[in-house]
Every structure is written in structure tokens, then in C-alpha cells.
Amino acid sequence: MGWITPEGPGPIDLSKCVACGLCLAVCPTYQLTSEEQASPRGRLSAMAAVGEGVLPMDETFEQVMEFCCQCRACEAVCPALVPFGTMIEGVRAEINVQRPSIGTRLRDQALGRLISMPKLVSVGLRAAKTANRFGLPGMLGGLRSDPPTIVRGVEFDPIGEERGTVGLLVGCVMESGFSQVHVSTIEVLRRAGYRVVAPQEQRCCGALAAHEGAALDARRLAERNKAAFEGVDFVVADAAGCSAHLKEYDKWATGWSAQARDITELVAEEIDSGHLPVSATRRGPITVQDPCHLRHAQRIVEQPRAVLRAAGYDIVELDDLGLCCGAAGAWGALNPAASKALGERKAALIRSARSTLVASANVGCEMQLRAHLDDWYRIAHPIEFYWQALVEDGR
Ligand code: SF4
Ligand code: SF4
């Protein structure tokens, strides 16, 4: 039957893979299973067969596609430039339409609708934080316990000469669960001369909905955010999954023209151009964990390191080609055994490094690392380490 919606990958993309196998070393699901059907190459060949109508869209196909954690590591190393991220999102959307189930409908509701209701998310996170005092399983065990600082609907003046306006994407869980990241982002950007606005009308960026194939919800959220951020110079996100999705908003929102940036990218530029300071204090080693949607989806590798070096830290690298930590949005909850195996692998690597400080630029990765590491590890966003250094230096 092939595809029945406009979301399914087209024949040009489906024919791009030359089966070279270069992606196998970076694919977490292939690394866990050694099975061809859990590899990018295997998934692409299954997509082509179903897209051409040679094979049916059956349960096996659905399982093969759903086991992909959408880390996009394959895309980053592919010499044939296979746009795997867009393709798998399209296939997920096709599966949702062709093989509807109560499970996928509930998931679409949760990731496309409920998560875009800030009050509901806030109540849910408060309950989860309380429950986590007794220890929640999986990634939820990595929630922060500090109380939220509300920034939605607030405008923050620049310090010194005004150089532009940044719209801050507040996100779905960041404001209630990880608001110290936003506070650090705002304070650093103000010191770079930016007015920071966090429009009340904005909603979740829609990345989770897009990844799960809830294309209509992803479009609705993107359109809403396009209107909310009208007129700003940059839209900045301080979670890599969100900034990666914002950069692809021209696919989701008609006429999207705002410049989307990850916070590490913008701040590294401001440090480089002398608008933000470099600390003279040496603060010792720090381990850097690269979120997939920063390293693979956006190819941002150097910028978080530059920010941390400017904060006075010496970078400790994890020598694993940026293999996914197993958080991966909703995938971690739907594939707990694989998520745990990847989380343990990453935690073991971090333990073998020589620092108890870990910088991670994505909220999901942070939770996953905290859930797998001992309490004496401090895991925070690079912008938090940088802001803390400015405060300590009296800037
Ligand atoms: S690296 Fe690209 S071309 Fe090579 S097997 Fe993987 S997806 Fe196909
Ligand atoms: S997106 Fe990640 S998990 Fe999926 S095929 Fe590519 S490398 Fe493997």
C-alpha cells in the first residue's frame, strides 16, 4: 500500500542509502543488539520496502521503527546525507495513521496536548518531585528538587547598552522542573546586552509530538510559537532537543523566519566577540556529555566546551562518539530496558573520568545521568556553570 499521508519519506530520500555501514558504530540500538533491523541501514531498507508497497506496514515494521531512539547519530556520519531524522518522523506519522491504537492515541494526547498545558505540567511535576523523595524509577528519579522560578510572561532588561531582543523558549518541563537553567540563561544574556522576553502565549516547542508522529499537534504548536515570538531577533532554547526542533520550524510553521539558536551557540559567540567575559579563575576538570540533539542534530560540539572553558573549567571528554545516553524523550519510558542499558554505559564512562562535575545541555540527558550516577555528582547545564562562575567572580 505504501504511504497514505504527505508525511511519509519520498523516493529520493528512500534511495539515498548506499549501505556503507558507517552508521553502525554510532547507532545505540545496533550497538545494544547487533541486529541489522535495529540499525539505520536496516531501518532504511525496511522503510523503502514499505514505502514502495513491497512489504506491508505490519507489527514487525512498527516495532522496528519504534525501537529507533531518534538520536540522529546516523545522520551526522552518513556520507550519502540521508536525512534520517525527518524520515523517521514521517514514518512514525504514517504508522499513527495506518496502524492507529489506543496506545498511540494516548501518547499523542500526552505529548501533543497535555504537555502544552503549563499549569497541568506544573502540577504534574510538583507531584513527581514529591514522590521522588521516596525514589521514582528510571529517568524520573533524576528530577531536580529545587522550587521553580516563573519567567513566563516576564520581560528582563539588558545590562548596559541594548544589543537586541532574545525570545526565550520556556518549554514544557523546564520552567517547573529546571528553572535554574532559565535563570542562568536570562542573567547571562542580559549581561551580553540582550533584552530577554518569555512570551506568555508560547507553548511546548512540539519536538516530542513530532518525534512520535503526532504531526498535526507539532504543526499547531509551531504555529502558536511563531505568533508568540513575532519580532524578536533570536529565539533561544536552553534544552538541546528544543533548539534542534526550533531550527527545523520552517517544516512545521508556515513563514517561520525567526533565527533559532541553542543557548551554548549564542553565548559562545558572545564570549568570542568579547561581549561576555572569560574567567581567570581555574575551577578544575568537568566532564562534558553531548546531548544527541546538540551534537548529532545540530552538529554543535565546540560551543558548550568554549562556554565551560570561559567559566574556568578544563574539559574532560567521554570517548564514545557521543553515543546516546538512553534518555531520548518518550523513548526511554517506552523502552526501559534499552534505556537503562545505555544509561548505565554512559554512567560507567563518566565514573571513569576524573571529575564529579558533569555538564549536559539537555534536560532529558540530565535526568537520565542523575538517575544513573551517585548523589555526589553535580549535573547541570553548561550555562549554569558559566553563570555561577560570573557570580563567583563578582561580574
Ligand atoms: S552511513 Fe548512510 S549511506 Fe551508509 S549505511 Fe548508514 S544510512 Fe546508509
Ligand atoms: S536515529 Fe539513532 S537509533 Fe535511530 S537509526 Fe539513527 S543512530 Fe540508530
pTM, two decimals, is 0.94
- The full set of domain ranges for the chain reads 11-100, 118-269, 277-392
Which residue puts its alpha carbon closest to atom 2 of ligand 1? 78
- C-alpha cell belonging to residue 99: 496502524
* Centre of ligand 1 from the C-alpha of residue 159, in Å: 48
Mean local confidence (pLDDT), 108-124: 79
Q: Which atom of ligand 1 has the smallest separation from the CA of 81?
A: 2
Among the residue ranges 96-110, 170-184, 257-271, the one predicted with the least confidence is: 96-110
| C-alpha–C-alpha distance, residues 130 and 30, integer Å | 37
Average pLDDT along the chain: 93
| Angle ∠(208,209,213) on CA atoms, nearest 5 | 115
Span 275-303, average pLDDT: 97
Residue 159 has pLDDT above 80, yes or no: yes
Pocket flag, ligand 1, residue 78 (CB < 6 Å):
yes
Per-residue pLDDT, 115: 76
Q: Tell me which residue of 153, 133, 144 sits closest to 180, measured CA to CA.
A: 144
Return the pLDDT at 105: 81
What is the arithmetic mean of pLDDT over 173-183? 91
3-16 pLDDT, tens digit per residue, is 999 999 999 999 99
The pLDDT value recorded for residue 133 is 80
At the topology level, CATH places domain 11-100 in: Fumarate Reductase Iron-sulfur Protein; Chain B, domain 2 (1.10.1060)
Residue 144 CB coordination number (10 Å): 20
CA dihedral 129, 132, 133, 137 (to 10 degrees): -170
**17 in contact with ligand 1, CB cutoff 6 A:** yes
Measured in Å, residue 80 CA sits from the centre of ligand 1 at 7
The DSSP call for residue 101 is -
Find cell 499547531 and name the residue.
220
- C-alpha distances in Å from residue 325, one per residue of 23, 38, 128, 293, 311: 17, 17, 22, 12, 25
Average confidence (pLDDT) over 129-150? 82
User: Pick the residue with more confidence: 100 or 50?
Assistant: 50
Which residue is closest in CA terms to ligand 1's atom 8?
A: 17
Give distance in angstroms: CA of 281 to centre of ligand 1: 45
Three cell numbers at 153? Answer: 510572561
